[in-house]
Amino acid sequence: MIENADTLTLDELRLALAPAIADSAIFDGWGDEALLMAAEIEGIDPAVARLAFKGGAMAMIGAWIDTVDQAMAAEWPQEKLGELKIRERIRTLVQFRLDAVAGQEEAVRSALAIMAMPQHAAEAVRIGWRSADIMWRLAGDTATDYNHYTKRTILAGIYGATLTVFINDESEDKAETKAFLERRIEGVMKFEKVKARLLRPDRETFSVTRFLGRLRYPAR
């Protein structure tokens, strides 16, 4: 039961009710049945619950993901993650998210299917970007140039792909998912190293002026 439910704002109620909706969505999908079941379990007036989630399935899914984001930030603040290498920070955060929804694979599967619908594409991208942004900020990223965007886009892609493996993984302790995640992170780390070398500010670059000058005044 949600304590002091009558004092919560709609935003607070959404976050409080979302985990119970996700549990119900395992069996009923992200629809009215799951919402009403969760409201009954948590002692919430069905009319109020419907008002809180008038955005439908995407509102429920978004609130559920928000609760995972909040739990992740509480468990792994920047100062705690700072003790790890960057690749371990990212791996730890993604793994936390996977562990947080373990046992709710069917709810995840249904959520991914809904988010993949064309009418939900923009909102799905926004939700994925937001979670990736939170992860990078917790990991200590302070980039403000194009790296800010590429890092979040890549991480959102890695997380989405890993979730797809996760919901179908029947190996012991999700070993296949962990191996998949490790390979993807390794690939990104290699890419970042190559990119850093190519974009190194002190790296000698081709100069048209210098080239023409050498043609006119060849080095002796």
**49-65 pLDDT, tens per residue?**
999 999 999 999 999 99
Q: H-type helices in 53-174, by residue range?
A: 57-75, 78-81, 86-100, 105-115, 121-138, 146-166
| Gap between the terminal Cα atoms of the chain | 86
pLDDT at 206: 52
Query: Which tens digit of pLDDT belongs to each residue from 113-152?
Result: 999 999 999 999 999 999 999 999 999 999 888 889 999 9
How many Å apart are CA 64 and CA 83, to the nearest integer? 29
> Confidence band (pLDDT; 50, 70, 90) for 217?
low
Extents of the domains making up the chain: 1-54, 57-220
pLDDT for the residue 190: 79
Of 14-18, 48-52, 56-60, 201-205, the one with minimum mean pLDDT is 201-205
Fold annotation for 57-220 = Tetracycline Repressor; domain 2 (1.10.357)
Distance between CA atoms of residues 94 and 181, nearest Å? 8
**pLDDT at 195 (0 to 100):** 65
Q: Read off the pTM.
A: 0.86
Tokens of 59: 């509102």
Question: Which pair of tokens denotes residue 30?
Answer: 């992200």
